[in-house]
Structures are given as structure tokens and as C-alpha cells.
Structure 1
């Protein structure tokens, strides 16, 4: 039974929901970045939960923001603020060519781009070779969109 559950969990993680254009939204919602404000990572240097009253539909996903100002910044330049690899774990895309959920609490901005990781342990590994993982992730991600 434990083996069955393990296989089931692996299937869930490796086939996580994709909204339009490769955005991770999870199985039970259409919220990009689990409803966190992607602009806040850049303007406040922290993970901030978005508010439904500042919601915006983009790439078939719902993006939430903590303020009207952040919503407007996103509307003006969404590619600047949306996470790399559709919000999937940057390490998993790079190292395993897999779509593991990105946790909005484990993030880093590198060269003005937002990257998410699955958890603290994975992020520690990713931080050991950020340039290498970004090179691999940038090479892997376009191919993964076609799968």
C-alpha cells in the first residue's frame, strides 16, 4: 500500500496542472503562484499573499496582487514579474526536466527574474550553482512546454 501511495504521489507531482502557456496553477485552483503577489517579490523583497479584489486574468490563469499599484505594474509588464518556468520549481526543471510545484515561500530573484523552488531543501541545492541550474533550466523549459 505504501508503495502505491508513493507512486501516486509521484504521478501527481510530475503531472501537475498546467494552465495556458505553461503556468503552474495546481489541481484545485486557477491561481498562478498559489495566489501570491509576484510584483511584491521585486518591490518588497518578500512573499506577500495577493487579494482577490486585485485579481487579473493572464495566460489563462488568475494572478493575485496585494495592491492596485502592484496589479498595474504587472499589467504594464507581466513578463518582468511572472516567475520563470511557469512557476514550477527551478531546480526540478533544470536538474530533472520535471514539473514540480514551485512554493512561493522559496524564491530568489536573479538578474531581475523570479525563480521558485519546491521547498527549503531543494532551494539549498539550487543555490549551490544558480548559474548552472539557470542554464540547464533555460535549455530544458522550452522542450518541456511541448510535452
Structure 2
């Protein structure tokens, strides 16, 4: 039964991410209109690292500005934004399991099933470590809480 509920949540989140735009801009974690604190969303996948993007290589996707470290990464994003956009609007995945929008350290991340999850890592608290201990339980909770948030 848990697997069926989890699959339904994943399916509904995929459908939401395929919409244009997937949810209101107010639900994105932005600094001065820029996502991921200016980090390149494609670098997480291609370089397995968080690379700072350049303001001169920017792309506005549905009112959300992303910076890229290279033109090639920008082009990859343009061709498939849903593949590279962070989950939960760029808020901390661990906190999202409790329905909280919490800031992130863009260099603390994990890719799960081809999706980018970002985490809080400040004041001696690295929520990625906590997430890794309970990912199986936390992921479906975070998905459910996120769906509640974006419906408002």
C-alpha cells in the first residue's frame, strides 16, 4: 500500500512539474529573483558538483532566473528545464518533510532518481546527513507536504 501511495505522489508531482509554470513564483526559493543563489542547476548533474553560475549566462524560465557556468549548460537547461530544476522550489528537502520552506546551502545536495534535492547546512546542522538516514520515509512526506503548499 505504501508503494502505491508513493507512486501516486511521484506521478502527481511529475505532472505538476510538466506544467508551464509548475507552480506560483511565490513558492520558489529566490534571492533577488535568482534561483539556487546563482548556482548552475545543470552542473549538479553534469559535474556532480555545485558550480556558481555567471550573471552574463542567465536564462529566464517562467519568470525564474537561472545562472549557468557555461553556454552548453544553459542550452541543456533550455532543452529540458524540468530535468534540471531543483525539487520543492529550491527549498530544503529535509525541512519540506515537515512542510517547512527552509533556506539551503547550494553546495549541499543530492540527486535521487534524476531529481535535484537541496539541503540546509548551517550552524553545525547538515540536514543532508539527517535525510540520508531516513530518506525512504522522508521523501514521500516531503512530496505530500510540497503538494499541499503549491495548491495554496
TM-score range, shorter chain: 0.7 to 0.9
1:39 is the counterpart of 2:42: yes
Q: What is the aligned residue count? A: 127
SS at match of 1:129: helix
Distance 2:75 2:126 in 1: 34
Structure 2 gap segments, 5+ residues each: 1-22
Number of the residue aligned with 2:111: 109
Paired position in structure 1 for 2:64: 61
Report the 3-state secondary structure (helix = DSSP H, G, I; strand = E; otherwise coil) of the residue aligned with 1:38.
coil
Distance 1:109 1:131 in 2: 14
1:71 correspondence with 2:38: no
> Shift of residue 21 of structure 1?
6.3
* Paired position in structure 2 for 1:98: 100
SS at match of 1:54: strand
More strand by share: 2
Structure 2 length normalisation: TM-score? Answer: 0.78
Query: Within 1, Cα distance between the matches of 2:130 and 2:46?
Result: 26
1:1-147 aligned within 5 A: 20=25, 22-26=27-31, 29-94=32-97, 96-119=98-121, 121-147=126-152
Measure, in 2, the Cα distance between the counterparts of 1:100 and 1:19.
Answer: 17
Tell me, in whole angstroms, the C-alpha distance in 1 between the residues paired with 2:112 and 2:26: 22
Q: Quote the offset at 1:82 in angstroms.
A: 0.5
Distance across 1 between alignment mates of 2:24 and 2:65: 10
**Cα distance, 1:59 vs. partner?**
2.7
